[in-house]
Structure 1
Amino acid sequence: MQRLWDISPPVDARSPVFPGDTPYSQSWAAQIAPGCPVNVSSITLSPHVGAHADAPLHYDPEGVPVGALDLDPYLGRCRVIHAIGKRPLVEWSDLAHAVGDLPPRVLVRTYERALLDRFDNDLSAFAPETIERLADAGVRLVGIDTASIDPADSKALASHQVIRRRGLRVLENLVLDDVPEGDYELIALPLKLMTADASPVRAVLRRP
């Protein structure tokens, strides 16, 4: 049997969003009642709510939307590395204990317990030099358990710009609280949203 880790936070009206972004809301177009056999709802949300994949369009005006991305980076061998409490930036030295023979995907845990009920203005992010060195090591996708790979107040988005320049993909808002360090298979496929700058994912890890 294979063990499965669900590394996606719950998504509902209580889900934190980046200040100014669109929160999750849901309304009912139809509800089960005499003459109506089904419940049908409509939802409104930013594609950055919950666990999500950023598309190049998010940080590059000429970037491709999420629905046009190759799915291969979001599926396959992955390493989870703990850098708990490393703020404001995760440096290469914080990962150095676990970077030997890296697989193409790296997810970094920074929280002891992920914040699921409020936005963290002091979130941990990647130092751009860390992204550069991960790319040099052959990593194609990076992920983090915070809302952004850049500090919340960043305007330059230096780590996003490294991602853009080096052609990496990114996952944000993961929940890695109960995941031991080590190697897994990642499955975190974005939706085929053909004009969107990001997509929610149901991110899971599994290992034999």
Structure 2
Amino acid sequence: MIYDISFPLSPETMVYPGDPPFCREVLLDGAKGDDCTLSLLHLGSHLGTHIDFPRHFFPEGMDAAAFPLEQLCGTCNVFHLPDAAEITKDMLKQLDIQPGDRVLFRTDNEAFDGIHPLPHPVYLTAEAGEYLAERKIALLGIDYESPEGDGDFPIHKTLLGRNIPILENLKLKDVPAGQYCLYCLPLRIAEGDGCWVRPILER
């Protein structure tokens, strides 16, 4: 069983405030008599389902091209946390999170459709982010545009500062809690601070 946990990219895709939206400019159009169809895409590197690399917050941090694929692919745990207004350290301490784990959180953010913002999204507390860093996880995934509830980006700085990438805008609504194999392959963009991905989970 394979689960596609990405959202499609389109002009309707929700945009983080201040980021550029998706735009597809058709340069050649086979339907209008051209030899082929060729498009020019305009979009920010953190649009839709994407992964944040250390370069996002640290100028000398690893980029999309240099980041080891072994850390992005492999055994993964999906934790379902229904009815949680926020993900706290105490909540995480009740879960079996081990060093090297790839951790994805399915929350009430599963109502997100990739287009319309949620009025009260579920975030991680700063202490929860620090706990995950202390547990030395390999990757964090969340079912919304950011794990942050604080404008100072403590979770990004804590995790990315320790080379722990963040997978954002995941579509986990139909994914049961449990263990999977995660395949998450970014484009090999030199100096890439982030990259769009189409991650899949295999049961």
Q: TM-score, normalised by structure 1?
A: 0.88
Once superposed, what is the RMSD of the aligned Cα atoms?
A: 2.0
Q: In structure 1, what is the Cα distance between the partners aligned to 2:24 and 2:97?
A: 45
- Match status 1:93 vs 2:86: no
Q: Secondary structure at the match of 2:65?
A: helix
Q: Among 171, 174, 182, which residue is 1:175 paired with?
A: 171
> Quick one: which amino acid aligns to residue 98 of structure 1?
L
Q: Is the 8 A contact 1:55 1:169 kept in 2?
A: yes
Q: Among 46, 49, 55, which residue is 1:48 paired with?
A: 46
Per the alignment, residue 32 of structure 1 pairs with: 30
- Match status 1:106 vs 2:103: yes
Q: Is the 8 A contact 1:17 1:119 kept in 2?
A: no
Q: Secondary structure at the match of 1:183?
A: strand
Per the alignment, residue 184 of structure 1 pairs with: 180
Structure 1 residue 73: Cα displacement: 1.3
Q: Secondary structure at the match of 1:159?
A: helix
Question: Percent same amino acid among aligned pairs?
Answer: 32
Q: Is the 8 A contact 2:80 2:177 kept in 1?
A: yes
Q: Secondary structure at the match of 1:67?
A: coil
> Quick one: which amino acid aligns to residue 179 of structure 2?
D
Moved more, 122-131 or 194-203: 122-131
Q: Is the 8 A contact 1:18 1:119 kept in 2?
A: no
- Match status 1:201 vs 2:201: no
Per the alignment, residue 148 of structure 1 pairs with: 146
Unaligned runs of 5+ in 2: none
Q: Among 76, 79, 83, which residue is 1:78 paired with?
A: 76
Q: In structure 2, what is the Cα distance between the partners aligned to 1:54 and 1:125?
A: 16
- Match status 1:131 vs 2:96: no
> Quick one: which amino acid aligns to residue 181 of structure 2?
E
Q: Measured at CA, do residues 40 and 50 of structure 1 come closer, stay the same or move farther in structure 2, by a change above 3 Å?
A: same
Moved more, 103-112 or 6-15: 103-112
Q: Measured at CA, do residues 112 and 31 of structure 1 come closer, stay the same or move farther in structure 2, by a change above 3 Å?
A: closer
Q: Measured at CA, do residues 184 and 103 of structure 1 come closer, stay the same or move farther in structure 2, by a change above 3 Å?
A: farther
> Quick one: which amino acid aligns to residue 194 of structure 1?
A
Q: In structure 1, what is the Cα distance between the partners aligned to 2:32 and 2:158?
A: 56
Moved more, 93-102 or 112-121: 93-102
Q: Secondary structure at the match of 1:73?
A: helix
Q: In structure 2, what is the Cα distance between the partners aligned to 1:193 and 1:35?
A: 33
> Quick one: which amino acid aligns to residue 39 of structure 2?
S
Q: In structure 2, what is the Cα distance between the partners aligned to 1:189 and 1:112?
A: 23
Q: In structure 1, what is the Cα distance between the partners aligned to 2:161 and 2:38?
A: 42
Structure 1 residue 35: Cα displacement: 5.7
Q: Is the 8 A contact 1:85 1:112 kept in 2?
A: no
Q: In structure 2, what is the Cα distance between the partners aligned to 1:145 and 1:157?
A: 17
Q: In structure 2, what is the Cα distance between the partners aligned to 1:27 and 1:101?
A: 45
Per the alignment, residue 156 of structure 2 pairs with: 160
Q: In structure 2, what is the Cα distance between the partners aligned to 1:183 and 1:71?
A: 19
Q: In structure 2, what is the Cα distance between the partners aligned to 1:11 and 1:42?
A: 14
Structure 1 residue 167: Cα displacement: 2.4
